[in-house]
Every structure is written in structure tokens, then in C-alpha cells.
Chains A and B, each alone.
Chain A
């Protein structure tokens, strides 16, 4: 390919790639650029001009306003991702290595839950959380606790899928050998499968953390009280508010985007693997 290809083609190729790179990066530039401006300097007509004076005033204010919601998002994401990963791991193990009669029916039925429009479960979900919360005397509807439960349940399909596909690549011979040595279902999991599971846990945790952090519909429905809202809902309220502090809004948008962005920058490989698992089975 390298030998004597017309240079013009190469130049054109890089020009197209650069054009697209600019298109994809444009929003990041706008967020950083305007987030660093003062309230007096920020204006829509000078959106592209770099700040005359760099200030963290916008970020400071955005951080103060969004801090409780950022905290809510962390309190939501950590347990929800951990529990759904744990469930996915044992489910995936059983489905990949201990196929019982009916497993071939159960699995696609579980998977379907990944694709449904969540609008089709919202009304009963609200009723159910109110009912169950009353029954247990725990605040579920309107709280982060309720939202954790929701994300755990609706996370089961994808986490099960990723773990099952991962465990399918673990040679059955290892499992058989452990069984001959007398290990049962639990023993095989603890001594053979779990120690091999780290890569799958990384993929699933990254996938779930970014998805739950970014989720909006459940969050806005389940947590109507602003004090309990995750950052995406709070950002929407900030951006929809009357006071047009563009610098604060842009800084706020960047803060809300930062955690998944950092995950992507540092662990993009695993992020991509989760993506592929969701898109291409096997």
C-alpha cells in the first residue's frame, strides 16, 4: 500500500480524518473554553474566542451547585454497579457451565429486558416502589435507595450476558477436572471461575458505572426530590433555569461528563469491550 501511492490521496485521507476529529472534539472545546471564562466575559456571540482571563469561577460555582448531586450519583453508582456485577457473575457462570433444562429459554427472556423501552415499565415501577417502600417502611420511591434497586434489576440482563460470554471462553476441561477432584457447583465457582473473572468484572463494572452515571429517565422519575437527584437530572435543571450563566452551565456539563470521560480515557479498551458485548454476542 505504501509503495508509490499518490501523495494527494494520503493528504486527502488525513484531511477527512482531521475534519471529523474537529467535529467530534468541538463540544469539548466549547465546554472547556467557556467554563473557564468569567460571568462578565461569557457571551454566546463570543463562544469560540478563548478567554481573555482564565478563571475557575464558573467551575467553582458549578461544583458548589452540583456537589450534592455528584455525591448522589456516586452513592447510586457504586452499590448498583457492584451488586449487578455480582449477580451477573453467578448467573453467567450457571448459564455457561451448568446448563439445566430450560436455560436456553430463560437466557433470551432475560436478555429481552436489555432492549425494552423503559417507558413501558415506568408506571408500574412507580406504583411498585411506593407499595414496597410502604411494606418495608423504607423510602424507595423518591430516593437513591429506590434508584439503586432499579439499576440493579435492569442491569441483570447486560451483566449476565457479558459474564456468560466470558465464561463460555473458559475451557470446560478445567471445570471438568475440578469436578473430578470433587468440587461441586459452589466449589468450582470459588476455586476455578472466580479467580479467572477479573477481566470480566473490569468490563462489567466500567460498563455499568458509565451507564448508570449517565442514565436520566429512571433518575428523573424515581427521584422527584431535588436533594435526592443524581447529577444528570440536576444538570438538566441547571441548564433549563432562568438565570443564564453560560459559564456555570458549561462548567457543570463538563463536571457531569467528567467521570465517564475519565473512565473512557484511562480504561477505554474495557469500555469498548463492554460495548461490543452488548452489540455483538459471542
Chain B
């Protein structure tokens, strides 16, 4: 009797959160999808049905085509950079480094700082007439000077540099935790078998870190598909949309241009991109958890 009452109570406790998330996440997504299929493209709401026309139009829009390309380039380079730098730093730190805690903190602290602050600082640091370019001059490496984000062909990579500054410490922390979890016996055994350090990492340690690589890739991937404030603070969409991303396009279209249906359409595409990455991950991790 009591157990049954408690079970009912447990559902009751969850109810407010379930309702809130039901409305604010699922209800709102449904409403956004509805707006995306409407003709509401002025300040005056017009929810007449337009079907999938907004989607067809959006994919024809040159700016959105640039956005998709930028998202792909940004995601691939950002992921590769974060995983590469993170693994390198973690491996180095795992080798009995004096002052390890200091290095670790230096690598990870940008994670605690907002993308707005990060974007603002890197706007100065990668400004063609100041920042890093002055340092390169002073170091006699003037040949490496770059116009950074002012040159459309490379501007997106300047944003990647800022994003790596903010997030690569995160993969370092994950990998370092993973490395610390690998037993010394395993390393010793590999060494006794005559494995060199390089072979040890390639054939034993890195394969053991695969689950971490996967989790990190999913977390970083969904961050990069949604990226907004960093770009907004650093470069906006320019020059010539070379650093434009769907998040910025959606923001400007909807809240500066009052084209609500078009903005909703962009955001539904963003949602689909994130869902493709996240849903399999959620299913996979809830299954493995059920087995454990």
C-alpha cells in the first residue's frame, strides 16, 4: 500500500519538470516546426500554411549554402584540432611533469570563460594590424603574418583558432582522466613484450581511449553545429559571409529582419543536424547503461 503510494508520489515529483521540459522543449520545437511551415515573414504574424516551401527556398539561398559549408569546415577542423591538441597535451602531462597542476589549469581555464569574452579578446588578437601579428614581427617571424579573419578565404579558420583556445582543454581533461585510468600493469606488460613508447600508445593506449574520443567528439560536435556567440562576438557573419553560421543567420533573420518563418526553418535544420548526432548517442548510452 505504502509502496504504491510512494510510486505515485515519485511520478508526481517528476511531473513539474516533465511538464516544463515537455512544453519548453518538445512543445516549442513543435511550434517552431509549425512556424517554419507558415508564411510568417513580416512583423505581422501570418500562420497560413506554406508547406515545405520555406525549406526548399532556404536551400536555394546562397547565404545558407555558405553557412552549411562553413559549418562543415568549422566542425571538421574544430573537432580534429580539439582531439589532436587534447590528446597531445594529455599524453605530455601524463609523463611525470613538474608543475603539472599549473599546466593543466592553464590549458583548461578558457572553458570557464564565456564565448562572448573569448570572441571579444580574439577579435583583438587576430586583428591584422595588432595582436598576434605584432608578436610574430617581434619574434622575427614576420613572414607568418596573416590577415586572419579579414581575409574571406581563411576567416573561418581564425574563428576555429579562438574556438580551439576555448575548448581544447576540455578534451585534454577527458583524455588525461582516461590515461590515469589505465593501469600501470598494462603499460609494464606491453613494455616487457618489447613495445616502444610509440607502439605502446598506438596499439594499447589510444585504442583504450576510443570511448573517450567518441564522447568528446559528440559533445564538441554538437557545440560546433550550434556555435553562435563566439562568432557573433568575434566576426559577426563577415567578411562576405565567410564566417556566417546558421545560428547567426537565424538570429539576424528572425530578430533583426522579422522573417519568422525563415528563421524557424533555419533553426529546424540546426535541430535536425544536432539530433542526427545526439539521438544515436543517447540511445547507445542508455543501452550500455542498462547492460551495466
Query: Which of A48, A246, A275 is in CB contact (< 8 Å) with B170?
Result: A275
Q: Assuming the A-B contacts A30-B121, A107-B286, are A256 and B92 also in contact, with contact meaning beta carbons closer than 8 angstroms in the complex?
A: no
Evaluate contact between A27 and B114: CB separation under 8 angstroms: no
B58 on the A face (CB < 8 A): no
Interface residues of A: mostly helix, strand, loop or mixed? helix
The distance from the CB of B95 to the nearest CB of chain A, in whole angstroms, is 7
Q: Assuming the A-B contacts A119-B250, A276-B177, A282-B289, are A124 and B28 also in contact, with contact meaning beta carbons closer than 8 angstroms in the complex?
A: yes
Evaluate contact between B103 and A214: CB separation under 8 angstroms: no
- Kindly specify which of A18-26, A54-62, A138-146, A195-203 makes contact with the partner chain: A18-26
B76 on the A face (CB < 8 A): no
Docked CA distance A87–B174 (Å): 28
Evaluate contact between A117 and B270: CB separation under 8 angstroms: yes
Q: Which residue of chain B is the closest to A111 with respect to CB atoms?
A: B282
Q: Assuming the A-B contacts A104-B286, A121-B29, are A27 and B122 also in contact, with contact meaning beta carbons closer than 8 angstroms in the complex?
A: yes
CB-CB contacts below 8 Å: A44-64 with B: 44-45, 47-48
B60 on the A face (CB < 8 A): no
CB-CB contacts below 8 Å: A261-282 with B: 261, 263-265, 268, 271-272, 275-276, 278-282
- Kindly specify which of B18-26, B48-56, B62-70, B146-154 makes contact with the partner chain: B18-26
B96 on the A face (CB < 8 A): yes
Total interface residues on A, CB under 8 Å, equals: 88
Q: Assuming the A-B contacts A17-B93, A26-B125, A119-B266, are A235 and B116 also in contact, with contact meaning beta carbons closer than 8 angstroms in the complex?
A: yes
Binary contact readout A48-84 vs B (1 if CB under 8 angstroms, 0 otherwise): 1000000000000000000000000000000000000
Evaluate contact between B27 and A108: CB separation under 8 angstroms: no
**What residues of chain B lie closer than 8 Å to A239, measured between beta carbons?**
120, 123, 233
Q: Which residue of chain A is the closest to B165 with respect to CB atoms?
A: A24
Evaluate contact between B229 and A217: CB separation under 8 angstroms: yes
Evaluate contact between B31 and A44: CB separation under 8 angstroms: no
Binary contact readout A98-120 vs B (1 if CB under 8 angstroms, 0 otherwise): 10100010111111110111111
CB-CB contacts below 8 Å: A201-238 with B: 210, 213-217, 221, 232, 235-236
Query: Which of B31, B85, B125, B135 is in CB contact (< 8 Å) with A123?
Result: B31
Total interface residues on B, CB under 8 Å, equals: 102
A-B contact list, 15 entries, CB within 8 Å: A45-B129, A100-B7, A112-B25, A116-B271, A117-B225, A119-B267, A121-B25, A121-B32, A123-B32, A123-B254, A216-B116, A253-B120, A261-B112, A264-B109, A271-B112
Query: A residues bordering B, Cβ < 8 Å?
Result: 1-2, 13-14, 16-17, 20-21, 23-27, 30-31, 44-45, 47-48, 87, 90-91, 94-95, 98, 100, 104, 106-113, 115-125, 127-128, 153-154, 156-157, 160, 184-186, 210, 213-217, 221, 232, 235-236, 239, 246, 249-250, 253, 256-257, 260-261, 263-265, 268, 271-272, 275-276, 278-282
